[in-house]
Amino acid sequence: MVREPLTEHELRRGELLGQALREARGERSMVEIAATAGISTETLRKIEKGRIPTPAFFTVAALADAVGLSLDELRRAAATHRQPPDQQRISA
């Protein structure tokens, strides 16, 4: 079975996912987040750089938990290219 090539939209969505995870990770190290999520640092690096644009669901779930985001927050951040809600500035 041959896998269909990813569309530009899917590739861009993977880049946005990676950016959202990087922003949510903040000052924490890749090693810390990868260990917490139970993945290798190299896998986290590839996801953050968009080189793994469609990571497995349980990998995404573990990463969301490791950076303190719900899956909904991560989905919105990846879809809209905004900082995750818990890291946005609140104007009074």
Name the burial class of residue 34, with classes exposed (0-12), middle (13-18) and buried (19+) by CB atoms within 10 angstroms of its CB: buried
Choose among 21, 14, 16: nearest CA to 62. Answer: 21
Say if residue 90's pLDDT is above 70: no
Q: Specify the pLDDT at position 81.
A: 54
- The pLDDT tens digits for 2-56 are 888 989 888 999 999 999 999 999 999 999 999 999 999 999 999 999 999 999 9
Q: Which CATH architecture has domain 8-81?
A: Orthogonal Bundle (1.10)
pLDDT band at 88 (very low <50, low <70, confident <90, very high): very low
- CA–CA dist 68, 58 (Å, integer): 15
- Helices 57-67 and 30-37, interaxial angle, to 10°? 120
Distinct helix (H) and strand (E) counts, the chain = 5, 0
